[in-house]
Amino acid sequence: MIELHRPEERKGIERELKRGSLELIVLHLLSQGEAYGYEIVTKLTEQTNGALEVTDGTLYPVLYRLERAGAVTVRWETPERGVPRKYYRLTTAGKEELHHLEEEWTTFTKAMAKLLRQDRESR
């Protein structure tokens, strides 16, 4: 079967759209309570049917960035059975950052929605 639209090229768009929104997403998930990295990766895939899937190689740098920015605190937990997990928890600064990003996201999507609605009205 010939691939007319070459779906592998399409991947690029998804990749770009995720830019900048990943931090918002992670902060939001953490606002529901503590979580560890691998958990966030699987949660994201499940809860969005793959629409916001990320690889762990993408997520860990995000978490490190958030930690360095003081948005999250880190706690290692080594259970008697099982692999050690690194738990992340939102700080007050992190909550503020979350609200700020939510606002920026809303502003942006509203502007997009307004623009994309435009011609259907004016023509």
Residues forming contacts to a copy of itself in the complex (CB under 8 A) are: 10, 12-17, 19-21, 24-25, 28-29, 31-32, 47-49, 51-52, 100-102, 104-105, 107-112, 114-116, 118-119, 122-123
Nearest residue (CB) to a copy of itself, 1 versus 116: 116
Q: Give one DSSP letter per residue of the chain, joined into a string.
A: ---SS-HHHHHHHHHHHHTTHHHHHHHHHHTTS-EEHHHHHHHHHHHTTTTT---HHHHHHHHHHHHHTTSEEEEEE--SSS--EEEEEE-HHHHHHHHHHHHHHHHHHHHHHHHHHHHHHH-
Determine if 50 is a binding residue for DNA (CB under 7 A). Answer: no
Work out what residue 31 binds among a copy of itself, DNA, none; the CB cut-off runs from 5 to 8 Å by kind: a copy of itself
